[in-house]
A and B are shown apart, each in its own frame.
Chain A
């Protein structure tokens, strides 16, 4: 038996899982319209490769990865692209992002699927295929999976941790996945094992899911694998990657390090499942399991196409009439979506019908009495009340001293706070302010460099101009001297002509001098309003500058970066 470790803190909210465990996984019906956001994973935003009017097949690429940390996006069903435009995202900000809107044709016709045996492929090719299939972490963080499948060159991979803990209340999609599709989950874990070559594989499942653990054990045994299925104590947030790693291996991964630096890597069970489907069946990620629960009459887990409007999915559970919102994710870390029309995305593991009966409105915020409950509940052993104090005072430097970036926003502190302070909210605010300030500082540094360069250039040009003028003046003087000599040498009959010459030549000289001045001025003309540029303007300017350089118009500017 594996020796388990403990993490400090944690809370035990009512799990509310049984409600949605009574029914097997059902398939959600095809919606009338799918809105598939292109940006569904951490990292870059995939480029759309379809346009309005295109016919697409299920599983056809609609957005291609734009970099290494980016994952492809596919059409969830066959149909017609009706638009590629901006739609509200399932994000608390309620901001829009680029989406591919597909009208299904009802045939749900697959594109050509190419199953492969990953063992016959080079590791790079497996990783690339996973990227092409849009496989991302389905535990909620949606980090592109292929990006986590390269073993560290210096640290040997000791443990591969598979996360089936599912510690958030209400959510049961991983539980049902393990119960019903354990075989494919275990096969998927095999892929990760083959790529990372860990010494051992540990599958962590909270001990409130004995059925899932039994199913996984049976699958591991049936497939002749040596993975260890470990039941971990039910304690929120045991399913946080860092907490599960701690419980299973005793290793603590700080914010400043990657888990691979400590010889451990962690994947969610659903991610393993999709990785298997992607390789062995050639099916990219076009659907996922979503728990529909909360204030509904029939809580259940559904296999839902990515892009299905959330309100349509919620309807399947028959929400009670007092439902007043949809929470995406669990009740500890989830958020109210801005609108029922926002689509299900790869990160959507659970939809909870919100009502005041289920989640009573919070009591008003009281002052902090420094009781320290939050510090005792914090799984990262932070001092939330101190960070709160400094975040409130906008003393962001101090919040960083108290390690605000180690906060995983699990919500334990807010959960236990007797003063009902939305602590996590303060920490999110502080973090985003710090990021914004860092961006501003970077922009200011860039502007400063540009300004200094401009000054340098102006000084140089001034010197050049002065030199030019001096030369012109010298030439003029020489010319005048020559003319004077000529005039003196010539006879009286040439007087008129000489007078004419004397009249026109200074004019010509003056015109030339003025033109030279104007040119110098043009060259030296300072670009205006360059101190306060937003990112877009900055990028445009940089591009113009680059073109100018390419055309040899202006001297090379120092390398600049805005983001």
Chain B
């Protein structure tokens, strides 16, 4: 007797389809990124993907899991890409590779593999590296610096010295440092007037990368891969807190637009905080999760010790996710008046 449980009809979907679509959604952002800093980012994506797949394969083998099935699910590649996109594009290859291996081995497989990790693996890797290698993690290419491919390769693979010209800072970091150094003597509007660094809104070119992520995120929402809750709550809370402080003291606090389009805000809102495994799943839970992540990201990036706060914000909210979900269970069909 044959046994196959209903339903016999199934929607054409799979984990690898979902992950592939997430990767596809990252493409506009990656394209803008590559246009901004050159092919370095593509090299980092390849390095991270390779490291992720090797680590994934090794761990699957150790754990006695079917290799082909899990290697092709695409989750390791998504982690790898998020790492590559959050690290400085000219970071040495070993840093990106180490981070990726750490993410896959420790943050993912030691917790039980796909679907079991309480923390977003990419953000764990980012946090570990920014704590362990703060100098390297702060070396962003100077604005407008477009090294040719060979030179970028040489820098990434350590074949040529890490020239000082490379050690710029992100617009976020630059603004924070400038404000701190000036000690209230320079105001934000004055700083932002520097079009070379800050571009039209939030950092020359970076705003286009953010726009690319936004575009990809909207596409994922349209495809039903993510729901609107987390990105909307994230953006809303970031706008609310930055807007409130900006209105209160425009000289000291940058505008909401600056905060939205700089650093990891867009990537975080659409691609990182929406990670279903480590995030909230109930509609109300997602709103709280997104709002909390947006708020914490702002607080850390403006008042904290790190140039950007998205990674720590997401990790802190990951901690709270099970409790939030537990408290936010929606009322079910027919029981709404009781709830």
Contact = CB atoms under 8 A, between A and B. Distances in A.
A522 interface: no
Given A333-B6, A362-B4, A418 B13 contact: yes
B276 A370 contact: yes
Nearest to A354: B8
Given A253-B334, A369-B75, A415-B10, 16 more contacts: A254-B334, A327-B8, A329-B6, A331-B7, A336-B2, A354-B2, A359-B8, A369-B114, A369-B276, A372-B227, A376-B224, A383-B282, A385-B281, A414-B10, A419-B15, A424-B7
A333 B66 CA distance: 31
A381 interface: yes
A205 B75 CA distance: 43
A371 B15 CA distance: 10
A386 B332 CA distance: 14
27 contacts: A11-B11, A13-B7, A246-B333, A252-B334, A327-B8, A331-B8, A332-B9, A333-B6, A336-B3, A339-B1, A354-B2, A354-B8, A366-B15, A369-B276, A373-B13, A375-B282, A376-B224, A381-B333, A382-B332, A383-B281, A403-B335, A406-B333, A415-B10, A416-B11, A416-B13, A418-B15, A424-B6
Contacts of A422: 5
B281 A369 contact: no
Interface of A: 7-8, 11, 13-14, 94, 169, 242, 246, 252-255, 257, 324-325, 327, 329, 331-336, 338-339, 352, 354, 359, 361-364, 366-373, 375-376, 379-383, 385-386, 402-403, 406, 411, 414-420, 422, 424-425
A430 to B, nearest CB: 14
Contact of B9 (A372, A373, A415): A415
Interface SS of B by simple majority = loop
Nearest to A254: B334
A374 B99 CA distance: 33
Contacts of A402: 329
Interface of B: 1-11, 13-15, 17-18, 66, 69-70, 73, 75, 113-116, 224-225, 227, 276-277, 281-282, 329-336
A380 B73 contact: no
Contact of B116 (A169, A324, A367): A367
B40 to A, nearest CB: 31
Nearest 5 CB-CB pairings of A with B: A254-B334, A411-B7, A367-B115, A252-B334, A380-B333
A332 B8 CA distance: 6
B329 to A, nearest CB: 7
A336 B15 CA distance: 27
Contacts, number: 145
A105 B18 CA distance: 60
B9 A359 contact: yes
B158 to A, nearest CB: 36
Given A7-B333, A366-B114, A369-B115, A332 B17 contact: no
Nearest to B332: A381
Contacts of B6: 327, 329, 331-335, 411, 414, 424
A415 B2 contact: no
B327 to A, nearest CB: 13
Nearest to A371: B276
A13 B11 CA distance: 7
A129 to B, nearest CB: 33
Contacts of B66: 364
Given A364-B69, A385-B281, A255 B14 contact: no
A11 B115 CA distance: 24
B334 A361 contact: no
A371 B11 contact: no
Nearest to B70: A366
A246 B336 CA distance: 13
Contacts of A383: 281-282, 329-330
Given A366-B69, A369-B276, A370-B281, A169 B9 contact: yes
Given A338-B1, A424-B6, A415 B11 contact: yes
Nearest to A329: B6
Contacts of A375: 281-282
Q: Which of B1, B113, B333 has the most CB of A within 10 A?
A: B333
Nearest to A253: B334
Greatest chain B CB density within 10 A among A7, A331, A368, A371 is at: A371
Contacts of A361: 4
Contacts of A417: 13
Nearest to A382: B332
Contacts of A252: 333-334, 336
A333 B9 CA distance: 10
A252 B334 CA distance: 4
A343 to B, nearest CB: 17
Contacts of A403: 332, 335
B295 to A, nearest CB: 23
B5 A425 contact: yes
A383 B1 CA distance: 32
Nearest to A94: B1
Nearest to B278: A370
A332 B6 CA distance: 6
A254 B333 contact: yes
Contacts of B331: 381
A14 B276 contact: no
